[in-house]
Amino acid sequence: MKTTASIPVVAALGLLALAPPALAAPAKLSAGAVSATGATTVKVTNPNRYTLKGTVALASGKTKLASRKVSVKGKRSKKVPLTLSKAGLAALKSKGSLPTTVTAKLARRGGKARSYRTALVLKAPGAAGGAPGSGAPGAGQGGSGGGAAGNRWKATTSMGGTFDLIVENGQVSLAAPTFQPVSCFKSGGYSSAQTSLSSEMFDKLGPWALGNQDATQTQMVPRVNTLVTSGERTVTYRLNTTRTGDQISGSMVQSFSDSRLEFAYPNTPKIAFISCAGTLNFTAVPAS
């Protein structure tokens, strides 16, 4: 069974890595805060005995933010300095935060490059919260959302993470993207059935009708689960909520799918189907 590991980074973000060949351990990625000039770092940890070489990059959707070549010796870690592009830094400062994917394509000498990815939220210099992220997989990113302080609620998830909600005019919105666990299952094709766990961003902020149990919203965004192909795909989101006095109970749900052809010469290609879904329950109370 194919799984991904969840590794705490600067603020404990889920690590998502493509499984290397047998005897090879997945590299680990983490990211630092962004300075006023756009400088940041990505820490690459190589748990193997051999050197890994390749490229580390930051991207937000289709926008490339930074990239740099890297070489990390076996059993070592290396902080890779990166500087956001002018356009990327401007977008970060104007929006306050950017959902970002850290990607490392690394290979040992004479070996095939493997891709390692982790999702996070970069925060603008001086934004509340400082470094990107907080909590464990399923934990949210508080801080830089809009709304008056009196309308801000603090949500605690069933996994122990926290994130902020804005509640006003019978509607509820996420203050910033947050993370939730998602499970993908592959069936069909020629290879055996596979399951992969990942920490995906719930990045549809709303607003959502408070107490609405049926509404859904969709958008095209990339996901990082290793069973789905790279690039944007349609993600369906649902935020279910129920308010009782000064408490809101709810759940965040997201789902997406993929398919691909698998070949086994000389047989006819078969289609493999991937279905992904995740639910994260939470309880929220007014922020103090």
Strand 178-188 relative to strand 270-286: parallel, antiparallel, unpaired?
Answer: antiparallel
pLDDT at 116: 80
Strands 63-72 and 217-222: unpaired
Q: What is the pLDDT of residues 118-146, one digit of tens each?
A: 777 788 887 644 433 333 333 333 333 34
Tens of pLDDT, residues 145-174 = 343 445 889 999 988 888 999 998 888 999
Contact between 212 and 251 under an 8 Å Cβ cutoff? The reply is: no
Domains in the chain (CATH in brackets) are 1-133 (2.60.40.10), 135-288 (no CATH)
209 vs 206: CA distance, rounded Å: 9
Stated pTM of the model: 0.55
The confidence score (pLDDT) of residue 90 equals 87
Q: Give the chain's residues under pLDDT 70.
A: 1-24, 127-150
